[in-house]
A = this chain, B = another copy of it.
Amino acid sequence: MKSNLSYTEENYLKAIFSLSKKSESNVSTNDLANKLVTKASSVTDMVKKLADKKLVNYKKYQGVKLSDQGKKTAVSIIRSHRLWEVFLVKHLSYRWDEVHEIAEQLEHVKSETLIDNLDKFLGFPEVDPHGDPIPDKNGNIPIFTKKLLSELEIDQESSIVGVKDSSDVFLKYLNNKGIAIGNKIKIVHRESFDKSLEVILNEQKILITEEVAKNLFVKNINTHKLK
């Protein structure tokens, strides 16, 4: 269980995971080399090593696929990365577009307990600052369907993933109200008279007009079992 992989091995697993999601088939040596900005020959060598460690299934000239163990490891690195991003934005006042590089380093810190403790400290967030889902400690990844807040069902847990109107006035309005990408949001009541919404945003009840609700994209939060 104590795998103790190198920084590089972990990055290979992440890259394979990410490329696996775009297409069903095995990940090719060349695609991996591209993604990792390295040479195909280097990929071949590393992939053999990962196969020895049972983290991928590999047959010459046929590309690679993560094993169950490899997938588990990749997901845990992604979890770590996304939680650190939340920390950096929420507590160290970075913008969401500044955090990737730092999280890229933090994700490799090894500790049995660190990431679960961080998760708890952050209040078990379900999305990172880019709106991407954060796997839970068991490796389950929340899955989403994007829609407008105005179309969201009552009581459906969701999170804000983007805006339709990206004008300065609107963004400023959101800022003032404390509404941001990644925030958890749930509609408690829809007023039939003016279609305004009573929502719970970050544990606080606030009121939102239909006009605003028509310009906010949200994703449902549902849990998706890994494997």
Contact = CB atoms under 8 A, between A and B. Distances in A.
The secondary-structure label for the interface of chain A is: helix
Interface of A: 91-94, 101-102, 105-106, 109-111, 114, 117-118, 121
A101 B92 contact: no
A169 B72 CA distance: 46
Contacts of A94: 117
A103 to B, nearest CB: 10
A111 B94 CA distance: 12
Contact of A102 (B91, B93, B105, B109): B109
18 contacts: A91-B121, A92-B114, A92-B117, A92-B118, A92-B121, A93-B117, A93-B121, A94-B117, A101-B111, A102-B109, A102-B111, A102-B114, A105-B109, A105-B110, A105-B111, A106-B106, A106-B109, A109-B109
Contacts of A111: 101-102, 105
Contacts of A106: 106, 109
A43 B19 CA distance: 42
A109 to B, nearest CB: 5
A9 to B, nearest CB: 16
Given A94-B117, A101-B111, 11 more contacts: A92-B117, A92-B118, A92-B121, A93-B121, A102-B109, A102-B111, A102-B114, A105-B110, A105-B111, A106-B106, A106-B109
A110 B111 CA distance: 19
Contacts of A102: 109, 111, 114
Contacts of A101: 111
A121 B111 CA distance: 23
A111 B93 CA distance: 14
A3 to B, nearest CB: 16
A87 to B, nearest CB: 9
A92 B101 CA distance: 23
